[in-house]
């Protein structure tokens, strides 16, 4: 009787172990498939950038037959028609300044909406939410007319201005973060004798590092991929951004297009690795009893 009970319980334990292993295998299989689906286009683009023939039509299957660095070399040397280094520099300038101005404006807006209680607060929040629901190209005509009035069409600073001015509409994520900072920390600071400006600089900003980094990264990456606005506002070739410039390449220059696209990732990746250490969670742990 005793042996039977023992056998039964050991069989149950075995079954449990097998189930656990099988479950883990299934989860990993799904993850690998999802990763492959996500990584395949990147891999394809990277390999295409090394294509020796250069044209999309010369590739027999998915991948090129022969590889070379020609596309990358041409990207930076053959600048007569397609001045990639200039586009890269333009985009970098727009991205850097957009990153600075947008981050300042978004963080400022989110902090004010989250921390201060004022009469128009709810009205402003609702209007911002409704406005942000409209696609940005709806205002293209208006923006173009406004920019011509200000005489900043075909000027990269005009683009910086538009990006920075519209950025605060997307303050909701940042406000959500500020809402999680316990109110009692602000109250303690007030009682300790801090002014609002001091509270913002010495308490809020240090605590908001992760969200500032997130905002900076998203603001920095946006101009690299945006096409519609630069296409509308930047007319001369030398003022183009990478996205606009690459679209002008011919069909037989696909390798060059791919190389240009791959190269865009470099500044973003560099910035990401530089800032990622600040994107740690749990900045507020220990502040209040959880």
Partner 1 sequence: MAKVTLVDVSKVYKGNVRAVSDFNLEIEDGEFIIFVGPSGCGKSTTLRMIAGLEEITSGKIYIGDTLVNNIEPRDRDIAMVFQNYALYPHMSVFDNLGYSLKCHHEKKEVIKEKVNSVAKLLNIEELLERKPKELSGGQRQRVALGRCLIRNPKAFLFDEPLSNLDAKLRVQMRSEISKLHKQVEGTFIYVTHDQTEAMTMGDRIVVMKDGFVQQIDTPVNLYEHPVNVFVATFLGSPQMNIFKVTLKGDKLILDENTSLTLSEKTKNKMMAGYDEQNLILGIRPSDFDIASKEDYDFYVEKIDLVEKLGNETLLYLSLPGREENTIVSLKMDMGDDLKGPIYLKVNKDKIHLFNEDEVSILKINDYNYIPVTLKLEAADLIIDKKYTIKDFLNKSLVNEFGSDEGKIRVPSEAFKLNRENDDDFEVEVEIRAKDVRSKSNVYFARMKKDFIRITFMCDKDKHFKVGDKVKLYAPLNTLSVCDKDDNVIMVNDEISKPIIDVETKKIGQEFYVMHEDKAFVKAHKYLLVEKLYDLNAKMLLVSHDQKGEYLTLRIDRNDDFFNGMLLYTKVKKIKK
For partner 1, the binding residues (CB under 8 A) are 182, 184-185, 187-195, 198, 202-203, 206-207, 282-289
Q: Which is nearer to partner 1, 212 or 243 (CB)?
A: 212
- At what angle are helices 2-49 and 254-275 packed, to 10 degrees? 120
Q: Which is nearer to partner 1, 9 or 195 (CB)?
A: 195
Q: Minimum distance between the CB of residue 209 and partner 1, rounded to whole angstroms?
A: 8
Q: Minimum distance between the CB of residue 214 and partner 1, rounded to whole angstroms?
A: 17
**Could you tell me if 81 and 143 are in contact, meaning their C-beta atoms sit under 8 angstroms apart?**
no
Q: Which is nearer to partner 1, 111 or 220 (CB)?
A: 111
Q: Minimum distance between the CB of residue 206 and partner 1, rounded to whole angstroms?
A: 4
Q: Closest Cα to residue 244, out of 228, 263, 261?
A: 228
The length of the chain is: 290
Q: Minimum distance between the CB of residue 183 and partner 1, rounded to whole angstroms?
A: 9
Q: Which is nearer to partner 1, 128 or 203 (CB)?
A: 203
Q: Which is nearer to partner 1, 151 or 285 (CB)?
A: 285
Q: Which residues contact 94 (CB under 8 A, 6 or more apart)?
A: 156, 159, 160, 163, 223, 241
**Could you tell me if 52 and 66 are in contact, meaning their C-beta atoms sit under 8 angstroms apart?**
yes
**173-196: burial string, b at 16+ Cβ within 10 Å, e else:** ebbebbeebeeebbeebeeeebee
Q: Which is nearer to partner 1, 99 or 208 (CB)?
A: 208
Q: Minimum distance between the CB of residue 201 and partner 1, rounded to whole angstroms?
A: 12
**Could you tell me if 161 and 147 are in contact, meaning their C-beta atoms sit under 8 angstroms apart?**
no
8-state DSSP, 79? T
Q: Closest Cα to residue 222, out of 110, 104, 94, 105?
A: 94
Q: Minimum distance between the CB of residue 103 and partner 1, rounded to whole angstroms?
A: 19
């Amino acid at each position: 009787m005793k042996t039977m009970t023992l056998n039964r319980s050991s069989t149950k334990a075995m079954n449990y172990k097998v189930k656990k292993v099988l479950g883990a295998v299934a989860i990993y299989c799904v993850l690998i498939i999802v990763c492959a689906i996500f990584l395949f286009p990147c891999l394809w683009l990277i390999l295409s950038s090394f294509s020796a023939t250069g044209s999309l039509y010369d590739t027999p299957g998915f991948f090129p037959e022969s590889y070379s660095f020609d596309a990358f070399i041409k990207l930076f040397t053959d600048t007569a028609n397609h001045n990639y280094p200039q586009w890269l520099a333009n985009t970098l300038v727009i991205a850097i300044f957009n990153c600075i101005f947008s981050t300042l404006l978004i963080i400022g807006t989110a902090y004010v909406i989250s921390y201060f209680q004022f009469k128009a607060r709810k009205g402003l929040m609702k209007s911002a939410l409704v406005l942000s629901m409209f696609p940005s190209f709806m205002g293209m005509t208006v923006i173009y007319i406004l920019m011509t009035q200000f005489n900043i069409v075909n000027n990269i600073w005009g683009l910086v201005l538009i990006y920075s001015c519209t950025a605060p509409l997307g303050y909701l994520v940042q406000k959500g973060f500020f809402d999680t900072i316990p109110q009692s920390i602000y109250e303690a600071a007030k009682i300790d004798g801090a002014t609002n400006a001091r509270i913002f600089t010495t308490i809020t900003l240090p605590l908001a590092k992760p969200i500032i980094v997130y905002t900076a990264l998203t603001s920095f990456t946006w101009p690299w991929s945006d096409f519609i606005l630069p296409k509308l506002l930047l007319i001369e070739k030398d003022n183009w951004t990478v996205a606009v410039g690459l679209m002008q390449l011919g069909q037989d220059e696909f390798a060059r297009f791919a190389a240009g696209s791959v190269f865009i990732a470099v500044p973003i990746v560099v910035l990401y690795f530089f800032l990622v250490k600040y994107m740690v969670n749990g900045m507020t742990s220990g502040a209040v009893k959880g």
